[in-house]
Amino acid sequence: MDQIVVNGDRAGACWRIQDCHSCTHSSHGCGWCPYSSTCVPTTNLLKPLTDAQICPLKAERYELRTKALGCGCSTTTLLSIVVTVFATIAALVLLGLIGYVLLSINQMFGTGSWNGVEIEVKDDGTRDERQWRRSNAVTSFVRRTALKATKESEQE
């Protein structure tokens, strides 16, 4: 209520507005509190983080709507979207690091490299070089699909 006394003209102009769209698009810089259906003076959508008395009912503090995102997006919605985006990015980075570490550990302690060169020395002293690449589930699937082969026909 102290806010109304300090910003009397602005608060009065906001309090007179009775619908969300008119409130959020007014020239007075107002925000809409949906549970109490009141228009209150505010500066931005994140104002509820610093001002507990932004809306008449404390339960609707984080349900404030402003012009930036309109009547369909509250502070809660915005914060949940931001947290979800950053959590997704962090999870992808973590999965990438885990994959990199597993590949590094495999090359150091496991079965070794995924590809290389095999040199075969024949009885007459000539050398025969050929590239090799370890197959995995993806390359095996591609090879079977390209050859129209099955696991049984590969083993014959």
Name the residue range of residue 134's domain.
113-156
Of the chain, the end-to-end C-alpha distance in Å amounts to 85
127 and 153 co-located in one domain: yes
* Domain co-membership, 122 together with 105: no
Confidence of residue 150 (pLDDT cuts 50, 70, 90): low
**67 and 15 together in one domain:** yes
Contacts of residue 110, defined as CB under 8 A and 6 or more positions apart, other chains included, come to none
Tell me how crowded residue 136 is: count the other CB atoms within 10 A of its CB.
Answer: 9
Please list, in sequence order, all residues whose beta carbon lies within 8 angstroms of the beta carbon of residue 7, skipping any fewer than 6 positions away.
41
Residue 94 and residue 30 share a domain: yes
Q: What is the pLDDT of residue 118?
A: 84
136 and 101: one domain? Answer: no
If we measure between CA atoms, which residue out of 61, 67, 31 comes closest to residue 49?
61
Asked whether the predicted pLDDT for residue 86 surpasses 80, the reply is yes
80 and 69 housed in the same domain: yes
Q: Quick one: pLDDT at residue 147?
A: 61
**Residue 10 banded pLDDT, cuts 50, 70, 90:** confident
19-40 confidence digits (pLDDT tens): 999 999 999 899 999 999 999 9
